[in-house]
Structure 1
Amino acid sequence: MTQDVEMKELVVAPSNSVSSTVPPTLQHLKEIASLIETGAYAREVRRIVRAVRLTIALRRKLKSSVLHAFLNFAIVPGSEAHTRLSSYLPEEDEHDMEVDTATSATQAPMRHSLPELEIYCYLLVLMFLIDQKRYNEAKACSSASIARVKNLNRRTVDVLASRLYFYYSYSYELTGNLAEIRGNLLSLHRIATLRHDELGQETLLNLLLRNYLHYNLYDQAEKLRSKAPRFEAHSNQQAT
């Protein structure tokens, strides 16, 4: 019920016949991008949390054509991030190209390519790939996203990063390669600790425990758990 109300708050009534051609999902994503932009500039983490929650409500409506259009809106076309993210998406079919062409005239790119928006785009593409069962592409995308997150130390990125950590682990679990990333998860946990990123620490601790238990490494799991600090409850954010 809450998600429905929040989504309705983001709907902008079309002012003319041209804007009415913009797919509703794309319009919602653009509104969420504005929310992220505001949160990034104001350093308000709660706005980023809300953006993630609203995105979950749109997840099953994501299509390749919409994501291509959104990437053109949120990230500078031709940039390294844009090229990489676009390469993970399947080619658009004839119908998708028609939709993309119809929306191109109304595309007003964001003024700046904020790190928060770039990480958000990684999250969108990664969720889409997993839902489409394109697990190898999802694994590659998740690895690239983690490499990017490591270079960012911003509180407004932490919420988005915690979701990427989850899907990073999940994509490797889906492909049967969970053991490959254990060392990287430990490294990420150390980084989150140094940055005082409690949500990241908690998320990564859960993922490490899951990793150990997946391979029946109970002693290592108990050792890690016994040394883990206590955090304030972040369960609502981690469940999104």
Structure 2
Amino acid sequence: MSARGFRVQCNKWSVLVRLLLGEIPERTIFMQRGMERALRPYFELANAVRIGDLELFRTVAEKFAVTFNADRTHNLIVRLRHNVIRTGLRNISISYSRISLVDLAKKLRLDSANPVTNAENIVAKAIRDGAIDATLDHANSWMVSKETGDIYSTNEPQAAFNSRTAFCLNMHNEAVWALLFPLNTHKEKESAEKRRERQQQEQELAKHIAEEEDDDF
């Protein structure tokens, strides 16, 4: 029992560390036998971070506040709010080519006294950190997402396909050539035949010299 409790605690801290690092834990972590119930609060927490829903994040934090306090993880969970907002902002920047800061604050569900100013500061920091690819239109209070180029409108896919096709054809040709002409086989055969001819000529020459020497005597 104590060993299982230790594993549960390790998994809880592991989930929090990964969430703080901007990663989303695999679903299988929360489905381990005998741990589903204990890890349920952290599963709902990870789901709120994954979809970037600040309101859902608040609900989960309040719903399992007793559990988080008992686990002494409440202070770390508070820090996840920034990750939730950034994830939600990233999702919005992908979905909208342009959105007003007023609507952005509503979608992020910011609860500050001045949500528009808060949204502008959040967007500016996210752009500076490279979290989103967008610009701020201060005059009109918009966030303008930069268009993602369609790679299939360029020649790059064709060039990559041609390169792979050429590689496959060259490999096929080299394989056929290797089957038809095994490496150095013809050279080895040719040298063996020459060797036998040379040995035969040497034997005949030696025999002829011996016969001439016998005639002299």
**What range is the shorter-chain TM-score in?**
0.3 to 0.5
Of structures 1 and 2, the larger Rg is shown by 2
Bigger RCO of structures 1 and 2 (CA < 8 A, at least 6 apart): 1
Structure number with the higher strand fraction is: 2
Instruction: Provide the TM-score with structure 2 as the length reference.
Output: 0.36
